Chains A and B, each alone.
Chain A
Amino acid sequence: MPAEAATSTDTTEKFNGARIILKALQEQGVEVVFGYPGGAVLPIYDELFKQNSIRHVLVRHEQGAVHAAEGYARSTGKVGCVLVTSGPGATNVVTGLTDALMDSIPIVCITGQVPTHLIGYDAFQEADTLGITRPCTKHNYLVKDVDKLASVVHEAFYVARTGRPGPVVIDLPKDVAMAMGTYTTSPRGTKRQQHKTYRPKTKPDAAAIEQAVKLMAGAKRPLFYTGGGVINAGPKASALLRELVEVTGFPITSTLMGLGAFPASDDHWLGMVGMHGTYESNLSMHGCDVMINIGARFDDRVTGNLKLFSPNSKKIHVDIDPSSINKNVIVDVPIVGDCALALEEMLALWKSRRLKADQNALKSWWRHIEEWRGRDSLRYAQRGKIIKPQYAIQRLFELTKDRDAYISTEVGQHQMWAAQFYRFEQPNRWLTSGGLGTMGYGLPAAIGAQIAHPKALVVDIAGEASILMNIQELSTAVQHRANVKVFIINNQYMGMVRQWQELLHGGRYSSSYTESLPDFVKLAEAFGCVGLRVSDPAKVDDTIKEMISIKQPVVCDVVVDQKENCFPMIPSGKAHNDMILGPEDKAGKAISGAGLALV
């Protein structure tokens, strides 16, 4: 094994497994671990107690630990680290792990396990963690030999952050955590080969880049369609993307996951694409002749009806994961590689050849786009005494935009409004559950981001239904002085469920109205946070300012219009050029039976 040649093993000194874990985490640069103790991880917690270099953030539910680690990872670009016990501890992380897998977030999760000799005997708090987490992790390990523990931890970090990032589980039986063994340092040297065979391709094929650039130069109606891959490729990728858009003059749209990679204030920005994307970006997707997909995966929320998706375009697709290419949409120029490297090479080639797309065609393309933009598809009317949810979020944006804030969300209408109305300038500021759509994600993710950036403003834009799914984490926020602001868009409905019931199920609001909601102000106070409430549009600004000024976790209950729907919307089974623009537009755009079956 070549990796072993570069490692050094100090055979003289022995440590217990728990100590080895912590040494390895330290060597991997871990500063914070989000976790919850229990019988099977007591030895590790004991070692945590004896040291000061790694901070442990005690959550109130293991799901919250993973989401917090995701928030930490997304806002820093580092690997998030989780420590939970066996059995229920491990089963409770499954949602978080699946979330991280779907959104390609690097996480290393250490789960305790019953002692080796009890595995398979239905011991107390035993679960087949390896089996349960196999489909929801990028990779997982069961460590039975304490001498291999350190190298497994190093390998886990390498796997989590390399290629398409994702969650990795290390299942550690209690007896291994207590056994004495030797510590192995992380492999170093030029190659840093930390797994004996796993080497994802990062360098794009030069011929494919050449083909892509040629296609771009010949484009008449080009469009950049970017995704979370650009964020995952690091800040450099975002900088390169900005430059490439600048020199080409092409319009750009992005998926939900990719928001922030390109500044929303730039003229080339068309807004988000997809089911609740802007009119101009969806029509551009439909009408473009060359689509340059950088780090997005043609998700069904983006493409709508695949048969009608962007019918006349040549498609370039850059993705680090070969399985993302030609999965949903067959593309003309597949490029397997890291987005930053691909962007760099595209940019270099574009500049060195002094390429230029047909400027007249491009101008005419932009004229079309400006016309679509003129429809102002995100417009809404704030009148009367009831707060429109869009207004609340827009005011939040206006009053926080100079603070370089981190925004997390839960899942539903408020999430889409946040994506539409909170305009991001920088990558890593937007934390949302895109792939899995996990309600309850936002609060723990915000806490994770706040732990990583103690001085920054971190706001969880929430819905009153989602926030109740992980409300217990307010206690975590208070204990760890993570002064997050929870901005609840409260319409008393599971808004997106209600919207679909209105549009698809004849207005039969089956179980989407939440009766007996708690008083969020009192709830906040019970947790030791500050609670605020606003229901008057005229007081929204003052309430937001007050929320920001409080140096404590705040829950701000914004009582909004119960009937507001999220538009524009591409109904299920429809194409990008068949959008519902607003409530007055939905007549005559009935959703077909086939569309009804889609989610």
Chain B
Amino acid sequence: MAKKKPTAKSAAKKPVRKTAEATSSNIYEGMVPLALLRDKVIYRHVVSLLVDNETGILARVVGMIAGRGYNIESLTVAEVDRERQVSRINITASGTHQVIEQLKTQLGRLVPVHVVRDLTDDSPSVERELALVKVAGVGDKRVEALRIGDIFRANVVDSGIQSFVFEVVGNTEKLDAFIDLMKPLGLVEVSRTGVVAVSRGMLGIEG
């Protein structure tokens, strides 16, 4: 396989996986094709889980990830269905297909995890992240920060004579770019949510 950095397009062209049979577990979607498993290129994946919202579920997921030595870039968690007590966890991780496949199957082994979906491999998806970015400054720098905020469609959610807090939403790259631009303009601190994502199209995470 050519060693080029994957784009969103090439990711979408990957072979479509078999869907699970009715009798099979809903946590496992069949194996990644051999050629991809042997591919040594490192991809960034967003993996979404539905989990029972029970005591210690986050510790269980995080402990497994730490215990088996996976590197993750972000992890978000929140209850998404109060009635069924189901939470959704989004994990961003980089690795070869074999590593990501292992991560997904190891997550699937946890008893309270009932859906594991690879939002990078399985289908096209939308990713968003929110950041609150505090910038302090006066004069030209203050004006410039506000102008760039406009370009990035950032909302000003707090304003003082010497500072702003911007709320900026977008994919990870957009947020990175915005924060980079704020650095020379008096960046004080950043708080980011980590990536949340859903697949495109009409089907939900449970298929």
A residues within 8 Å of B by Cβ? 130-131, 134-135, 138-139, 142, 159, 164, 195-201, 203, 205, 321-323, 325-327, 330, 332, 334, 336
Q: In the bound complex, do residue A322 and residue B108 qualify as a contact, i.e. CB atoms below 8 Å apart?
A: yes
Q: In the bound complex, do residue A321 and residue B25 qualify as a contact, i.e. CB atoms below 8 Å apart?
A: no
20 more contacts with CB within 8 A, not counting A330-B34, A334-B31, are: A130-B55, A130-B56, A131-B56, A139-B112, A142-B55, A198-B111, A198-B112, A199-B25, A200-B25, A201-B20, A321-B105, A322-B109, A323-B108, A323-B109, A325-B105, A326-B31, A326-B32, A326-B98, A327-B102, A332-B34
Give B89-135 interface residues, CB cut-off 8 Å to A: 98, 101-102, 105-106, 108-112, 114
Q: How many angstroms between the C-alpha atoms of A473 and B132 in the bound complex?
A: 61
Q: In the bound complex, do residue B106 and residue A323 qualify as a contact, i.e. CB atoms below 8 Å apart?
A: yes
Q: In the bound complex, do residue A195 and residue B31 qualify as a contact, i.e. CB atoms below 8 Å apart?
A: no
User: Within the complex, what minimum Cβ distance (angstroms) separates B81 from chain A?
Assistant: 13
Q: Which residues of A contact B18 (CB under 8 A)?
A: 205
Q: In the bound complex, do residue A197 and residue B114 qualify as a contact, i.e. CB atoms below 8 Å apart?
A: yes
B residues within 8 Å of A by Cβ? 18, 20-21, 23-26, 28, 30-32, 34, 37-38, 52, 55-56, 59-60, 63-64, 67, 98, 101-102, 105-106, 108-112, 114
Q: In the bound complex, do residue B102 and residue A198 qualify as a contact, i.e. CB atoms below 8 Å apart?
A: no
Q: How many angstroms between the C-alpha atoms of A159 and B18 in the bound complex?
A: 27
Q: Which residues of A contact B63 (CB under 8 A)?
A: 134-135
Q: Which residues of A contact B32 (CB under 8 A)?
A: 326
**Could you write out 26 A-B pairs with CB less than 8 Å apart?**
A130-B55, A139-B112, A142-B56, A195-B111, A197-B52, A199-B25, A199-B26, A201-B23, A201-B25, A205-B18, A205-B30, A322-B28, A322-B105, A322-B108, A323-B102, A323-B106, A323-B109, A325-B31, A325-B105, A326-B31, A326-B37, A326-B98, A326-B102, A330-B34, A330-B38, A334-B31
Q: Which residues of B contact A196 (CB under 8 A)?
A: 52
For the complex of A and B, the 4 pairs showing the least CB-CB separation, nearest first, are: A323-B105, A197-B114, A201-B25, A139-B111
User: Within the complex, what minimum Cβ distance (angstroms) separates B29 from chain A?
Assistant: 9
Known: A159-B111, A197-B114, A322-B108. A135 touches B25 (CB 8 A): no
Closest to B50 in A: A197
> Helix, strand, loop or mixed for chain A's interface?
loop
Residue in A142, A197, A200 whose Cβ sees the most chain B Cβ within 10 Å: A197
Q: Which residues of B contact A205 (CB under 8 A)?
A: 18, 21, 24, 30
Q: Which residues of A contact B110 (CB under 8 A)?
A: 139
Q: In the bound complex, do residue A203 and residue B52 qualify as a contact, i.e. CB atoms below 8 Å apart?
A: no
Q: How many angstroms between the C-alpha atoms of A327 and B63 in the bound complex?
A: 19
Q: In the bound complex, do residue B24 and residue A203 qualify as a contact, i.e. CB atoms below 8 Å apart?
A: yes
Closest to B97 in A: A326
Q: How many angstroms between the C-alpha atoms of A130 and B56 in the bound complex?
A: 8
User: Within the complex, what minimum Cβ distance (angstroms) separates A190 from chain B?
Assistant: 13
Closest to B54 in A: A141
Closest to A207 in B: B18
Known: A135-B67, A334-B31. A198 touches B109 (CB 8 A): no
**B114 contact from A138, A198, A327, A332, Cβ within 8 A:** A198
Q: In the bound complex, do residue A330 and residue B105 qualify as a contact, i.e. CB atoms below 8 Å apart?
A: no
Q: How many angstroms between the C-alpha atoms of A336 and B59 in the bound complex?
A: 27
Residue in A131, A205, A322, A323 whose Cβ sees the most chain B Cβ within 10 Å: A322
Closest to A197 in B: B114
Q: How many angstroms between the C-alpha atoms of A205 and B56 in the bound complex?
A: 34
User: Within the complex, what minimum Cβ distance (angstroms) separates A155 from chain B?
Assistant: 9
Across chains A and B, the number of contacting residue pairs, with CB separation under 8 Å, is: 70
Q: Which residues of B contact A332 (CB under 8 A)?
A: 34
Known: A131-B59, A134-B60, A330-B34. A201 touches B102 (CB 8 A): no
Closest to B107 in A: A323
Q: How many angstroms between the C-alpha atoms of A131 and B109 in the bound complex?
A: 18
Q: Which residues of B contact A164 (CB under 8 A)?
A: 109
Q: In the bound complex, do residue B59 and residue A138 qualify as a contact, i.e. CB atoms below 8 Å apart?
A: no
Q: How many angstroms between the C-alpha atoms of A326 and B35 in the bound complex?
A: 12
Q: Which residues of B contact A131 (CB under 8 A)?
A: 56, 59
User: Within the complex, what minimum Cβ distance (angstroms) separates B198 from chain A?
Assistant: 20
User: Within the complex, what minimum Cβ distance (angstroms) separates A79 from chain B?
Assistant: 15
Q: How many angstroms between the C-alpha atoms of A164 and B55 in the bound complex?
A: 23
Q: Which residues of A contact B114 (CB under 8 A)?
A: 197-198
Q: Which residues of A contact B112 (CB under 8 A)?
A: 139, 197-198
Closest to A198 in B: B111
Q: In the bound complex, do residue A330 and residue B109 qualify as a contact, i.e. CB atoms below 8 Å apart?
A: no
Q: How many angstroms between the C-alpha atoms of A131 and B55 in the bound complex?
A: 11
Residue in B25, B56, B60 whose Cβ sees the most chain A Cβ within 10 Å: B25
Q: How many angstroms between the C-alpha atoms of A196 and B112 in the bound complex?
A: 9
Q: How many angstroms between the C-alpha atoms of A138 and B98 in the bound complex?
A: 23
Q: Which residues of A contact B59 (CB under 8 A)?
A: 131, 134
Closest to A203 in B: B23
Closest to A130 in B: B56
Q: Which residues of A contact B60 (CB under 8 A)?
A: 134
User: Within the complex, what minimum Cβ distance (angstroms) separates B39 from chain A?
Assistant: 11
User: Within the complex, what minimum Cβ distance (angstroms) separates A41 from chain B?
Assistant: 21
Q: How many angstroms between the C-alpha atoms of A203 and B24 in the bound complex?
A: 7
Q: How many angstroms between the C-alpha atoms of A354 and B29 in the bound complex?
A: 32
Q: Which residues of B contact A203 (CB under 8 A)?
A: 21, 23-24
User: Within the complex, what minimum Cβ distance (angstroms) separates A143 from chain B?
Assistant: 11
Q: How many angstroms between the C-alpha atoms of A323 and B23 in the bound complex?
A: 19
Q: In the bound complex, do residue B111 and residue A135 qualify as a contact, i.e. CB atoms below 8 Å apart?
A: no
Closest to A324 in B: B105
User: Within the complex, what minimum Cβ distance (angstroms) separates A98 from chain B?
Assistant: 12
Closest to B24 in A: A201
Closest to B51 in A: A197
Closest to B66 in A: A135
Q: Which residues of A contact B109 (CB under 8 A)?
A: 164, 321-323
Closest to A325 in B: B31
Q: Which residues of A contact B106 (CB under 8 A)?
A: 323
User: Within the complex, what minimum Cβ distance (angstroms) separates A335 from chain B?
Assistant: 10
Q: How many angstroms between the C-alpha atoms of A166 and B25 in the bound complex?
A: 18
Q: How many angstroms between the C-alpha atoms of A566 and B54 in the bound complex?
A: 49
Q: How many angstroms between the C-alpha atoms of A199 and B101 in the bound complex?
A: 20
Closest to B85 in A: A196
Q: In the bound complex, do residue A330 and residue B98 qualify as a contact, i.e. CB atoms below 8 Å apart?
A: yes
Q: Which residues of A contact B25 (CB under 8 A)?
A: 199-201
Q: How many angstroms between the C-alpha atoms of A134 and B31 in the bound complex?
A: 28
User: Within the complex, what minimum Cβ distance (angstroms) separates A247 from chain B?
Assistant: 27
